[in-house]
Amino acid sequence: MNEEQRKKLIILKSVNKEYIKKLQWKSNVLLQECLNNLETYQIISDETIIKHIVKIAGDTEIKRMSHSDIPMIEKNHDYYIIWDNERVPIIKCKGDDIIENWDDVLAVAFDTCFVNCRTEQGFFIRE
């Protein structure tokens, strides 16, 4: 296999990996129900942003709450939502959408982390 074929194979593997990931998202009923109920959202695909968000979410100082606690979500802010299931994407959406669809957002995974896009402050909800 020459260098050009290797490059094509790497690209093909990358495209295939993304395709499989999207198929897994589509087959996740709880994720699809959540996304369908959110008015607007953006799936985060930039690896640099993902690493930064995951670093914030993984901080040991992050506030931990129960699912029954009143959410600390501000309606007019954007938030990243990070679920503990690596097979679902990190998304960005409005605080009011999160509040209106609270049960659907939390149903996607056992643990959910919210990171305020503006302040980069987060909190962790354990279902």
DSSP three-state, residue 11: helix
Query: What kind and span of H or E run contains 65?
Result: strand 63-66
Supply the pTM of this predicted model.
Answer: 0.79
Angle, CA of 109, 36 and 69, to the nearest 5°:
45
Return the pLDDT at 127: 66
State the greatest distance between any 2 C-alpha atoms of the chain, in Å, as a whole number. 59
Tens of pLDDT along 33-83?
999 999 899 999 888 998 999 898 888 778 888 777 777 888 889 999 999
Check pLDDT > 80 for residue 13.
no
